[in-house]
Structure 1
């Protein structure tokens, strides 16, 4: 949602854009309210939430985040948008680029999860349609993630436009939220709820952090409410209200503060936003014993691939 605003600000969506949130999703609702407190780019309208996905009109530009959604892929096949703009949806954006530049006929499916025959057929057809859009110059990818040079070259060789950004619109907005008082800020993770890391290992690590200093915990939008209640029970840890992207809530941190996170796209985004403020944004290396059997080696590599910078923090 935030990257869609940035894409409009960068001029990729045309003079007038409608940003349509999906209904019944609290993170989108609270993010929408936060955006409403800021000065939106000229020509961008934040519309009412809808339970159904809008059908793009023939020839218009259509911006989407989740390129692996079955509903999105069905729309690619049944509608005829003029241009397609893919905005960041986490590390899945990099996987999409890898699949698009891979073997023709490769289905556009997530890194984890099992797809049946019909779902695979849909994902294969969607991949062919998206590659055709690239060849005709009608596909743009808008990302703040560091795309490896070889991959970026391959994407452009397919005919797609690859545009990187540094949250220019967000950085131009005044700070309206007080920063947390704690020196250490921990970003929550969806890895526990997704069954990719052991819950007890994660909570043991959090308890160790809270025993040494006060910690501000900002939940991931998909964390289990029961897990969050348990986090709040850990001595020394204060759970802050979640739902709003970390890029919006934490961009005012001071140089003496630091951010810790398991592999997450937010690590890269916050480094872009906080580097000028001197804030350390550090990735926690996930120890082997944390991973569950659900986390295949290829998935572990994918999750960790773009999280590291100059330093990392090792779990216990």
Structure 2
């Protein structure tokens, strides 16, 4: 595909450094607590404005995700409807994050579409308004719209930026997926954990992921991944996906641990990011709207 007219925007993955359910809301949703950690690794969203008003996706694996379920397309359509504009766009997502891993790939892609098209189309919607649009697409979209490591509460919409120490992560994806609705319906799920505080997290208290025992019991592949990672550190689960990770203070030990893992875990080493690489790409975008290739670091 010709590069003419296309711009490239980072859509970083994330980790949930812990995840707790502290109660159930009147609307049936659960009150959660978590810390989102941005990663210097993820997808790349390619965009090209169209003059015919159509929103068209491109790529080799389009059949894997129906158009109605494609968050990137829905984000573009919702943004256009919100502002009642007739702009069109071509969208191509270069996928690196595995589906069902809990790394936030689809949510991050949608957030990148919202923020990048806001810049390309010159809408100047503001981050809060874009985050509100994103919340209707998925609970994880707002944190990617804001682009900062954050303590989150509610269903993930109440965000409080946090500074996190530099870290490297050994990621593993067992290649299985359990529907989030299935996990929330599990009778053994703990739904009334005591609320944690930012001080608890900062002190290194083992806050855990409430879905870890459920997934390890349902999926032998997740249990096997945890057992393998336990030989090199303390494994944790991210989100409600099957992705697992071990945190290291430096790259060297993380790479050494990777070399000790068995084949077939889909493992890699990535750096934690101080903030979303998307914010740097947005800052580099020409204010005159000239289309240029914008590349994030670490992709």
Q: TM above 0.5, one fold?
A: no
Structure with the larger RCO, 1 or 2 (CA within 8 Å, 6+ apart):
2
Normalised by the length of structure 2, the TM-score is: 0.26
More strand per residue: 1 or 2? Answer: 2
More helix per residue: 1 or 2? Answer: 1
Normalised by the length of structure 1, the TM-score is: 0.25
